């Protein structure tokens, strides 16, 4: 009986991937972004522990800085991809003599 039950219930759960993003896992996720994120979490935890005006101001500023940095880095990445596509487009035209 135990053998039949163990055959049915072995390896039923798939291993989950870690939700943590490491430096370099995304093209825009660099050390600057990682440090801003660490600062955000440090200030958030401090605010949750103390609930003072100073810790709240620090938390809000860290959150704002992290969001601005992510927007800036994502827009830089988007511009870089667009420039690569335009460059590739002209290379293809030149190679086939379509100008």
pLDDT digits (tens, 9 = 90+) for 11-65: 555 555 655 566 666 666 788 888 999 999 999 999 999 999 999 999 999 999 9
Neighbours of 66 (CB within 10 A): 19
Query: For position 69, what pLDDT does the model report?
Result: 94
pLDDT of residue 98: 67
Q: Residue 71 — very low, low, confident or very high, per pLDDT cuts 50/70/90?
A: very high
The position carrying tokens 């103390």 is 50
Tell me the C-alpha distance between 34 and 66, whole Å.
9
Is pTM beyond 0.85? Reply is no
Query: For position 28, what pLDDT does the model report?
Result: 64
């Amino acid at each position: 009986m135990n053998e039949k039950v163990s055959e049915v219930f072995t390896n039923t759960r798939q291993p989950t991937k870690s939700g943590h993003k490491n430096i370099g896992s995304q093209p825009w996720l660099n050390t600057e972004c990682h440090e801003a994120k660490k600062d955000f979490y440090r200030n958030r935890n401090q605010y949750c522990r103390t609930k003072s005006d100073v810790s709240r101001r620090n938390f809000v500023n860290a959150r704002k800085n992290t969001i601005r940095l992510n927007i800036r880095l994502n827009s830089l990445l988007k511009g870089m991809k667009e420039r690569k596509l335009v460059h590739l487009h002209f290379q293809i035209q030149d190679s086939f003599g379509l100008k």
